């Protein structure tokens, strides 16, 4: 084989290798069918609850890696969402969902337990909720289905309200947005009305834009809490969760609102 032939063969091999690498590193094709199984978001909304890792039976669903490559003892802290706010996939079936202490003290002690039947192709949100009992080392938990579908209208966002405050009566979530008719005024819309503890309202279509969110009892015009300047993008789906202690006005355990994108 002469030198020119050898060089041509090497260039061909390099090209084939590069093409193979390109196929492996290009954007993943997501237009096909959704993989089988269920998906879950995990929220630690239990007031004063320790940070946890979430489990389905013995299957660890969330964890935080440390700089040493070992699992961190920080876990999912109060007021945060596991797995960076992404859904975690799991085969459909019957499970006991649990939050287990991540710290070295009481390591892997389950502070919440909830039997749940997860259906194929469905999405869910699991909430540790209510107020942590320091004597029994337990906290409430509940599961809601997330019927998230691609919206047909990309000028609107779809938003719902989930109530994770155990010592509150049913609550109504409102949103205010600048009026299109008179920009010196605002329009008020009801996101969900009279949502009880451990419940979720239906997804409501809202005009895309920036909202101030207002949480009230149904028979009151007084705000229990507010969350300002929340952006709802067209074509996206959001859950606004209420957590905290309704009797506390300020501080880390006060009642508050939190917006999370479902898709």
Q: What's the structural domain count of the chain?
A: 2
CA distance 42 to 45: 9
Q: Nearest-CA neighbor of 239 among 199, 210, 189, 187?
A: 199
- Global pTM reads 0.84
187: which residues sit within 8 A by CB, 6+ positions away? 176, 177, 178, 179, 180
| C-beta atoms surrounding 127 within 10 Å | 27
H/E stretch holding 128: strand 123-133
Specify whether 131 is located in the same domain as 169. Answer: no
pLDDT per residue rounded down to tens, the chain (263 residues) = 444 444 344 334 433 344 343 333 333 333 345 557 999 999 999 999 999 999 999 999 998 776 776 777 889 999 999 999 999 999 999 999 999 999 999 999 999 999 999 999 999 999 999 999 999 999 999 999 999 876 678 899 999 999 999 999 999 999 999 999 998 999 999 999 999 999 999 999 999 999 999 999 999 999 999 999 999 999 999 999 999 999 999 999 999 999 999 98
Specify whether 226 is located in the same domain as 263. Answer: yes
Last residue of one domain, picked from the residues 146, 175, 201: 146
Q: Do 196 and 163 meet the contact criterion of CB atoms below 8 Å apart?
A: yes
Which phi and psi angles does 24 have, rounded to 5°?
Answer: -75, -25
Task: Give the CATH number, domain containing residue 178.
Answer: 2.60.40
Specify whether 57 is located in the same domain as 163. Answer: no
* Domain span at 224: 150-263
Specify whether 224 is located in the same domain as 179. Answer: yes
Specify whether 154 is located in the same domain as 263. Answer: yes
Q: Is the residue at 3 inside a domain?
A: no
Specify whether 68 is located in the same domain as 168. Answer: no
Q: Is the residue at 20 inside a domain?
A: no
Q: Token pair for residue 210? A: 């920036």
């Amino acid at each position: 084989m002469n030198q020119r032939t050898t060089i041509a063969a090497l260039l061909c091999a390099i090209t084939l290798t590069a093409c193979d690498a390109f196929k492996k590193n290009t954007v993943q094709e997501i237009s096909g069918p959704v993989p089988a199984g269920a998906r879950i978001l995990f929220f630690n909304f239990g007031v004063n609850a320790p940070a946890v890792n979430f489990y389905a039976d013995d299957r660890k669903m969330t964890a935080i890696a440390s700089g040493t490559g070992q699992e961190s003892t920080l876990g999912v802290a109060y007021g945060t969402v596991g797995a960076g706010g992404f859904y975690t996939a799991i085969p459909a079936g019957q499970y006991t969902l649990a939050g287990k202490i991540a710290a070295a003290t009481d390591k892997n002690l389950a502070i919440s337990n909830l039997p749940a039947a997860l259906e194929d192709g469905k999405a869910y949100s699991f909430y540790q909720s209510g107020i942590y009992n320091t004597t029994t080392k337990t906290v409430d938990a509940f599961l809601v289905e997330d019927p998230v579908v691609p919206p047909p209208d990309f000028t609107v966002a779809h938003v719902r309200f989930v109530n994770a405050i155990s010592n509150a009566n049913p609550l109504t979530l409102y949103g205010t947005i600048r009026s299109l008719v008179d920009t010196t005024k605002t329009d008020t819309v009801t996101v969900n009305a009279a949502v009880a503890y451990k419940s979720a309202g239906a997804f409501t279509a809202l005009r895309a834009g920036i909202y101030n969110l207002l949480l009230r009892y149904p028979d009151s015009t007084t705000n229990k809490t507010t969350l300002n300047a929340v952006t709802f993008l067209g074509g996206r789906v959001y859950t606004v969760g209420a957590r905290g202690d309704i009797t506390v006005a300020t501080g880390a355990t006060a009642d508050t609102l939190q917006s999370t994108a479902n898709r």
